[in-house]
Chains A and B, each alone.
Chain A
């Protein structure tokens, strides 16, 4: 067993601890692990280049920025704030809990891309949350916005696995099949339901506590 291939993990931890530029840290980690595994420099660069090219779909989401920017220039964020300020019952806990529920339910139906940090959190949810919370200083505004982003993540992660055709379900089915265990996607996805309820309860409680601490 060649334990030196773990050098890349050590580089990642050291790099993040020292707050070096994360892109540089990633490349150094790839070099460290690649060299430890006995790969040639050219082979490591090629492997990284191939993987980068194969995963371009990860960066496609940025094509929404021009239209988001256009709407923001014409007052979308201001309008989102005004809407929440005009609604009497629009408290921070109600807004975020409602979004959490919506995100979990739609993700469970396989609709993971209808919301997200670029599409909905920045232009809509974050300004609405800020308006509902009326933060007293910059630090509190940051916490509210970070909570809005976190609520999107929790809703997505603990909703999507209930859908039978999502990537992680197919990965589990494929992996188990290779090891001689045949599972149907539905058998896997039903076991995501208890955790989905637990995630809603725990994160909902935290949202409620955040609202109460502010009241």
Chain B
């Protein structure tokens, strides 16, 4: 059965290739730092399950040490603007067909693989489809564009270097969430929140729930971490049990209030920091800044919706 393990092997091979190409990139003054960083990530993908928890922890510390001491650099840009313009003129709109292969395979796979649960692990259909889409697009692209096998890997390495250490920030923050959960941070925050709500005020409870979801999501970077905490502290005891709010409305719209928080925090790195790096924006918080004016009114709408729909 094809599952996550195979996707990790593919990712491990890709990171190993980035590491090797970084080591040979004479235009990058810090090429050994890059090689070590992507190499360790390749090791994690390929052998993480065999390493054991403590060794995985040391691997993380090594990654952080390389990034923290400024060990990552960037090589020179390959390929000229003229060559790209010539390519665009020669290949025309067929380039879009190639670009649509990944979403098309992801779409077809998400539906199609559910029919063959013995072939693809039903829990990871989406990731397997994404990986297959990337592979198929790569094979088609290399055949059609007559590229050498090294060419996409060099280009991938270039894009990877432009993302830099931000590439693992989402995974790091998810891991921090696990440590926070182990230490009981959520419980403490929930207790503090429920202590500040004045007794007998339904409006105050609704506002505290919505704001609490957004604020705690901003701290944790993830509404999934905030939901159990805030719902246990305010949603269940006050909104649902004391004021008899509709539990489906309280839960569903409370989660969406949390999503408004996701739009406003660099802690949600994969949505807010990584795209800034991918788009090579100078201001790493540019995406957060672009989203705040949408997130704040939408948060107010969500709080109002709980007030009007739940009671």
Contact = CB atoms under 8 A, between A and B. Distances in A.
Contact of A24 (B11, B68, B282): B68
A194 B305 contact: yes
B179 to A, nearest CB: 4
18 contacts: A1-B191, A8-B180, A24-B67, A50-B56, A56-B8, A57-B124, A59-B41, A59-B45, A63-B130, A69-B159, A73-B83, A73-B151, A75-B87, A76-B88, A172-B227, A172-B251, A198-B305, A203-B294
Interface string A45-77: 111111111111111111111111111111111
A39 interface: yes
Nearest to B133: A64
B64 A66 contact: no
Given A117-B279, A150-B290, 5 more contacts: A53-B51, A59-B45, A63-B134, A64-B130, A72-B155
B55 A49 contact: yes
Given A52-B172, A122-B278, A157 B14 contact: no
B7 to A, nearest CB: 6
A198 B86 contact: no
B191 to A, nearest CB: 6
B227 A154 contact: no
A84 B145 CA distance: 23
Interface residues of B, number: 145
Contact of B263 (A48, A150, A171): A150
B44 interface: yes
Contacts of A168: 223-224, 227, 255
A143 interface: yes
B291 A150 contact: yes
Interface stretch (B27-35, B89-97, B200-208): B89-97
Given A50-B53, A52-B172, A175-B231, A167 B58 contact: no
Interface size classification for chain A: 35 or more
B182 A37 contact: yes
A9 B186 CA distance: 11
Contacts of B98: 71, 76
A12 B219 CA distance: 8
Nearest to B47: A53
B248 interface: yes
A206 B301 CA distance: 16
B287 to A, nearest CB: 5
Given A45-B54, A157-B263, A194-B305, A111 B106 contact: yes
B227 A57 contact: no
Contacts of B110: 110-111, 113
Chain B CB count within 10 A is highest, among A26, A54, A171, for: A26
A114 interface: yes
Contacts of B177: 51
B23 interface: no
B22 interface: no
